[in-house]
Structure 1
Amino acid sequence: MSASGTASPQVAVVGAGWSGATAARLLHDAGLRVHIFERTMAVGGHSRSATVNGVLFEPEGPHIFHTSKPAVKDFAVRHGMRHSYEHKGLTQIFLDDADEHPYTLSWPPQVAELHVLPVWPAIEKELSGLPPTPCTRDFESHCVSIMGRTLYRLFIEGYTIKQWGCHPSDLSSTFAPSRLGLRTDGNRRLFRDTWEFFPLPNAQEVMESMTRPIPATFGQEIAAADLPELERAYDAVVLTVPLDTFAGRPGRLEWRGIRTVSRYIPLEDPDATVTPGYIVNHPSLRVPYTRTVESKHASGQSIPATVVTEEYPGAPARHYPVLTTDSRNERENVRLQEEIRKMTRMSVFFCGRLANYEYINQDVALDQGMSCANDVIRELRAKGRNTREGRAYER
C-alpha cells in the first residue's frame, strides 16, 4: 500500500471491456499507477470483432456506438473511433402463421410505412385511443400503451419472449423508453444521438489504444478470494465483472445470454450483401433466432464475400441482466456490492454493465468509466493519498 503523500496510489482494474479500459486509461493519465487484470487473453470483452477470409464480422453482437456527450465522443475518437455510420434498424414481421413472406419495415416502426399492412385499420384505431402517458407497470403494458396491441404483437411480443425466456409482463418497463418507440417523422435513424460510429478496423483496437501504456495481466480471473493479496499492493480496486461470480456465488443473479451462428457466404459482386440491413430483427416465434447481423453493411468493405450472424437466445452467458418488475436482481446486486466492500480495506468501485447489473450501451459503459475514474481520484484524495489536482476527465 502506498504511503500517504509519498507515492502515487495504485489501482487494480478488473476487466478490460469498455468501462474498465476507459477507467484504467484515465486513472493512468491522472498519474496513478494502474494494473489491469483480464481473465481472457485480450482486451475488448463482449465487443470484440473477428475476420474470416478478410471479412469483418461480429461474433458477439453488433458494435453500436452513439452518443450526444462531447467528452465521450472526444475520448472515443482520440483512441480511434472515427468511422461515422448512421445505424438504421429493420424488422421482418409475419402478420399471421399462414404468411409465407415477411414484411420488412423500419425499427422502430414508422407510422407512414404501416399503411401498407392489411391490418392498418386496426392499428390506426388503436393508435387513436392510446393513453396520454405511457404505462410503467411492466414491459408489456408500456409497449401496448405507446403503440397499441396489434403493433406490440407484431414487433415486440415474440422477440421479447425469445430474448428473455419469460412473458413480457414479467419484465420491468425501465429499459423500454431507450430501446423502443413509435415514430412519425420519417427519420429511419435508429438513434437520435449527435454522433454515431462503427469501429474500424475493429472495436478492440480502440480499447487496445486505451490500455496500451498500462501494465496488464491476461488469462487470470480475479475473485473475492484474491482481495487479501491485492490489499498488499493496491489502494483501490475497480470491478467491471459480474459480482455473483466474483463473490463465489454464481447463480445469485439472473443473466440471459445469446449463442451466435456465423455463416461465411462467397459472393460474385464485392459490394453485395445478403440481408436487407446491418441489423434485422426477427420477432416471430416461427424464426428461432432474434436477429441477424451483417457487418458488411456498416464496415463498407468491398470484398467478394460476406458473413451473416444469427443470434439465438438462451445460452448460458452473461450478456443481458434480467430486469423484472420486482427489481429482485438489482437489489441482489446492491447486496453483493455491499458484501464485497466489507471484504477488504481497499476502496472498491463498481463500473459498467456487469458490475452494476445494467442493460446499457457501449457509450454509457465508457461514460461510467469516466465517472468511476473521477470517483477513484476523489476518494483517494480524501484519504490523503498523493493524487494530482483536478478531475480525471471533464464529462
Structure 2
Amino acid sequence: MTKHCLMVGAGLSGAVIGRMLAEAGHRVTVLDARGHIGGNCHTERDADTGVMVHVYGPHIFHTDDAEVWDYVNGFETFLPYKNRVKTTSQGAVYSLPVNLHTINQFFGQTLRPDEARVFLESKADTSISDPQTFEEQALRFVGPELYEAFFKGYTIKQWGCSPSDLPASILKRLPVRFNYDDNYFFHKFQGMPENGYSAMIGRILDHANITVTLNTPVSRDQAAGYDHVFYSGPIDGWFGFDLGRLGYRTLDFERFDYRGDYQGCAVMNYGDVDVPYTRITEHKHFAPWESHEGSVLYKEFSRACGPDDIPYYPIRQVAEKTLLAEYVAKAEAEANVTFVGRLGTYRYLDMDVTIREALDCGRRYLATLETGEPMPAFTVNPL
C-alpha cells in the first residue's frame, strides 16, 4: 500500500530518506521553514564574485563509508579536496592539526618523529592519569605550552566556558601527528561537490513522488494526517519546548570582501582569546579548481543560542542530557513520527554520518511496512 510521508526539513536527512521512500513508490512531502533546501549545508554562488559560498559555514565532505561516498557521487561530482587548516597564535602562523612541523616550529626544534614523541611526553602533565575535563586531556597529552597556544583560547571562544568545565570526550582524539601530514582529516574519501551541496540535495529531491515546499514552518499539530513523519527539526521544538529549551551554541558571521587572495588558505583559526572571532574562512579556497579575482570571507563568532537563532552545536553537558532524556521519553510515546538528524537527535553529526543514518532509517521504515512492526521514534539512541 502506498504511504504518504512527511519530511520536516529539506536538509540531508529529509532528502535522503525522502528519496528512498519515493523510489519505493511512496508519496513524499518535504516542508522546510527556510527559503532554501540544504539546511546548514546550503551553498550558493555569490553574484558579484562568482564564488561558491557555504552560507552557514564551511562543510567539507570526508568519510570512510564507501556506500555513502558512492551515494553522494551519484548525485554530484565530488572533486578532490584536502582540508589544510592554519592557525594564528601569539603572532605566528602554524599548521593544524598539531603535527611534526607545528612542534618543531613552535619550540624551535628539528626533531625527528621518535624524538618528538619523547619531547612532547616531557612537556605533558603525567600526573594526570585519568583525564576528566577537556583541559586535563590537553595538558596530559601536549602539555601547557601547546594547550595555551592552540586549544585554550579557541575553546573558550567556541564553547563560552572554561575548558576545565568541558568533558574530556570533546577532545576524545587529540589531534597530534608525529609526521608532516597537515591534512586535517584522515578519512579515505575526501572531497567537495563541484557545484555545491545545494545542487546535490536538489538532485536528491528531484523525483516525481517528492513535493518540496519552502518557507513553511511545521508544528506537531500540522504534521497530523500523514502516514509517517520524519522530523529533523529540534526535538524540543516538536513539543513546543514545553519542558524547556535544550542548549546550543550558534554562530554569527561577519562578511567582508577582498580583491585577490586574503589569507592564502580556506580556514585560518585564531587561538588567542583576545581575538573575538574563532576563525576566518575564505570560500574560494574551498573550490581550488575554480579561479576568482574577488574573494568572499567570513569572520565567525560563537555564542549562546537564543530562541530566534539557528542552532549549530548541541552542548550536551549534564543539564542538557537530563532534559534530553525527558524529551526522548516523550518522543518514544509518540505515534508515527521518527526523529532524525543533528537536531532531531540532539547530537553533533558529520555529513557522512547523517547520510548513513538516513539510509539506515529509510531502510528500517520500508522493512516495517513489510513486517508490520512499528517504526521506532529513533533508529539511533540519542542518549
TM-score for the superposition, normalised by structure 2: 0.86
| 1:126 positional shift | 5.1
Contact 2:51–2:292 (CA<8 Å) still a contact in 1?
A: yes
- Hey, what does 2:179 align to over in structure 1? 185
**1:164-183 alignment, distance < 5 Å:** 164-177=159-172, 180-183=174-177
The SS at the match of 1:73 is helix
| 1:313 positional shift | 1.1
Greater Cα offset, 376-385 or 215-224? 376-385
Residue 114 of structure 1, aligned match among 103, 116, 128? 103
- Hey, what does 2:233 align to over in structure 1? 241
The answer on 1:86 being equivalent to 2:82 is yes
- Hey, what does 2:329 align to over in structure 1? 338
Residue 371 of structure 1, aligned match among 347, 360, 375? 360
- Hey, what does 2:346 align to over in structure 1? 357
The 2-side partners of 1:42 and 1:253 are apart by 25
The 2-side partners of 1:360 and 1:113 are apart by 28
Aligned length: 358
Amino acid corresponding to residue 178 of structure 2 in structure 1: T
The SS at the match of 2:203 is helix
Amino acid corresponding to residue 350 of structure 2 in structure 1: N
Contact 1:123–1:151 (CA<8 Å) still a contact in 2?
A: no
Residue 269 of structure 2, aligned match among 281, 290, 294? 281
The 1-side partners of 2:24 and 2:36 are apart by 24
Q: Runs (4+) of structure 1 moved beyond 6 Å?
A: 119-124
| 1:331 positional shift | 3.8
Amino acid corresponding to residue 167 of structure 2 in structure 1: S
- Hey, what does 1:152 align to over in structure 2? 147
**1:1-395 alignment, distance < 5 Å:** 7-50=1-44, 51-53=46-48, 54-94=50-90, 102-118=91-107, 127-128=121-122, 130=124, 131=126, 135-177=130-172, 180-213=174-207, 214-227=210-223, 230=224, 232=225, 234-249=226-241, 251-267=244-260, 273-300=261-288, 301-314=290-303, 316=306, 317-324=310-317, 326=318, 328-343=319-334, 345-346=335-336, 348-383=337-372
The SS at the match of 2:106 is coil
| 1:111 positional shift | 2.9
Amino acid corresponding to residue 12 of structure 2 in structure 1: W
The SS at the match of 2:249 is strand
Contact 1:18–1:365 (CA<8 Å) still a contact in 2?
A: yes
The SS at the match of 1:152 is helix
The SS at the match of 1:349 is strand
Contact 2:16–2:358 (CA<8 Å) still a contact in 1?
A: yes
- Hey, what does 2:377 align to over in structure 1? none
Contact 1:37–1:216 (CA<8 Å) still a contact in 2?
A: yes
| 1:135 positional shift | 4.2
| 1:224 positional shift | 2.1
| 1:119 positional shift | 7.6
The SS at the match of 2:171 is coil
Query: Cα gap change, 1:323/1:140 in structure 2, threshold over 3 Å: closer, same or farther?
Result: farther
The SS at the match of 1:263 is strand
The SS at the match of 1:223 is coil
Contact 1:112–1:186 (CA<8 Å) still a contact in 2?
A: yes
Overall identity of the aligned pairs, in %: 26
Contact 1:292–1:310 (CA<8 Å) still a contact in 2?
A: yes
The SS at the match of 1:115 is helix
Contact 1:19–1:367 (CA<8 Å) still a contact in 2?
A: no
The 2-side partners of 1:117 and 1:262 are apart by 31
Contact 2:117–2:178 (CA<8 Å) still a contact in 1?
A: no
Query: Cα gap change, 1:136/1:167 in structure 2, threshold over 3 Å: closer, same or farther?
Result: same
C-alpha deviations, 1:277-328, integer Å up to 9, x for none?
A: 111111211211001111211212212111111101115430110132x3x3
Amino acid corresponding to residue 316 of structure 2 in structure 1: L
Structure 2, unaligned runs of 5 or more: 375-383
C-alpha deviations, 1:202-243, integer Å up to 9, x for none?
A: 11111111111111222211122334xx2x3x2221111111
C-alpha deviations, 1:83-140, integer Å up to 9, x for none?
A: 221111111111xxxxxxx221111111333223358799975523645998451222
The SS at the match of 2:312 is strand
Amino acid corresponding to residue 60 of structure 1 in structure 2: Y
Q: Which protein has greater RCO, CA pairs closer than 8 Å, 6+ apart?
A: 1
Contact 1:171–1:322 (CA<8 Å) still a contact in 2?
A: no
Query: Cα gap change, 1:185/1:291 in structure 2, threshold over 3 Å: closer, same or farther?
Result: same
Contact 2:254–2:300 (CA<8 Å) still a contact in 1?
A: yes
Structure 1, unaligned runs of 5 or more: 1-6, 95-101, 268-272, 386-395
Contact 2:269–2:278 (CA<8 Å) still a contact in 1?
A: yes
| 1:375 positional shift | 2.1
The 2-side partners of 1:132 and 1:37 are apart by 54
Contact 1:27–1:373 (CA<8 Å) still a contact in 2?
A: yes
